[in-house]
Amino acid sequence: MPGRASRASAKKPAPRQRKPRFDPQAAFAAAMIRWFEESGYHVGLDLDQFDGDEAREQFKKLADKLEELAAEVLHHVVSFHALVSSGANSDDLFEALTPFIGQADIVASKVGSGLRTGLVVVPLVLFADKLAPEEIRRRFSLFVELGEALNAFGPRLNLQNMGQCRLFPLLVYFESDRCRADVVALRADAYQLHAWKHVTLRGAFVDVAGGAVTRAEVTGIGAFSVAIASLFGKEFEPFQFGTSDLAAVSAMVAQDKPPDG
């Protein structure tokens, strides 16, 4: 009949597009990366985050300065001749950090300066709800093994590396019960001081839902160093992630969360 549109020509309603489902882990990861960057850490191995020429020049100046100071001190204190030389460069740092990728969900890093020249700090984020305690222990051991290559990023005395590597695994949980269970099971393994390797690992258990952070207890000679530092009002650890930091990251997640997410 005239004036009536055929069924074939009638427009069908466009299919409704489903909004992407909110992923708490992805949102937390994005907020953690932002927190690291705002705290002065490099995240991952994105070379665009580094100015290669500028970095090399900075590292060379630090090494030269330390070499000069060390030679002067050794001249007054030590009766034998010592060879002080610079350590690895930024290319070596990238190469040493590469094996950590894939073993942690987020790898951050910072190279020390001033009195902390030769110190490489590596926070490592692991989303641990589905990781068995045995797997976490395996990764702790692997991190320590990989960290040995990072102590070369510092001066050498008589061809021996004098750098220090500090590893800080952050075990992130969205299930509070699982977090509490792993604190009991793993807390003793989450602090490891390997003085002969110049590598220290200190983990922390991050309970996102509970808003709590439980750090591994420092024991042995490390505890003595903490006590000495506290007498002078100093913080012993070069990396801190506590309850207030977790609250800041959670606030970033809430800020970026869709209204109906």
In the chain, where are the structural domains located?
Answer: 44-255
pLDDT at 195: 83
pLDDT at 257: 84
Among 13-27, 77-91, 199-213, the minimum mean pLDDT is found in 77-91
User: What would the two tokens of residue 194 be?
Assistant: 């390997």
**Exposed / middle / buried, residue 151 (Cβ in 10 Å: 0-12, 13-18, 19+):** buried
The two most distant CA atoms of the chain are separated, in Å, by 112
DSSP string, 163-232: -EEEEEEEEEES-HHHHHHHHHHHGGGSEEEEGGGTEEEE-EEEETTTTEEEEPPP-THHHHHHHHHHHT
**Exposed / middle / buried, residue 131 (Cβ in 10 Å: 0-12, 13-18, 19+):** middle
When pLDDT is averaged across residues 112-131 and rounded to a whole number, the result is 83
What span, in angstroms and rounded, lies between the C-alpha atoms of 261 and 251? 15
CB 86 within 8 A of CB 123: no
The torsion of the CA quartet 233, 123, 137, 179, rounded to 10 degrees, works out to 80
**What Cα–Cα distance (Å) separates residue 189 from each residue in 83, 109, 112, 169?**
37, 22, 26, 12
Tokens 């050498």 sit on residue = 156
Q: Beta-carbon neighbour count of residue 19 at 10 Å?
A: 9
Over 80: is that where the pLDDT of 92 sits? Answer: no
**What Cα–Cα distance (Å) separates residue 254 from each residue in 27, 151, 257?**
9, 38, 5
pLDDT tens readout for residues 40-64 = 999 987 544 434 444 445 444 444 5
User: What would the two tokens of residue 47 be?
Assistant: 């070379």
User: What is the band of 111 on the pLDDT scale with cuts at 50, 70, 90?
Assistant: confident
Over 90: is that where the pLDDT of 14 sits? Answer: no
pLDDT tens readout for residues 157-210 = 444 445 789 999 999 999 999 999 999 999 999 999 998 888 999 999 999 999
State the pTM of this model.
0.74
Selected residue with higher pLDDT from 229 and 254: 254
pLDDT tens readout for residues 202-247 = 999 999 999 999 999 987 655 545 555 455 555 567 899 999 999 9
Selected residue with higher pLDDT from 145 and 66: 145
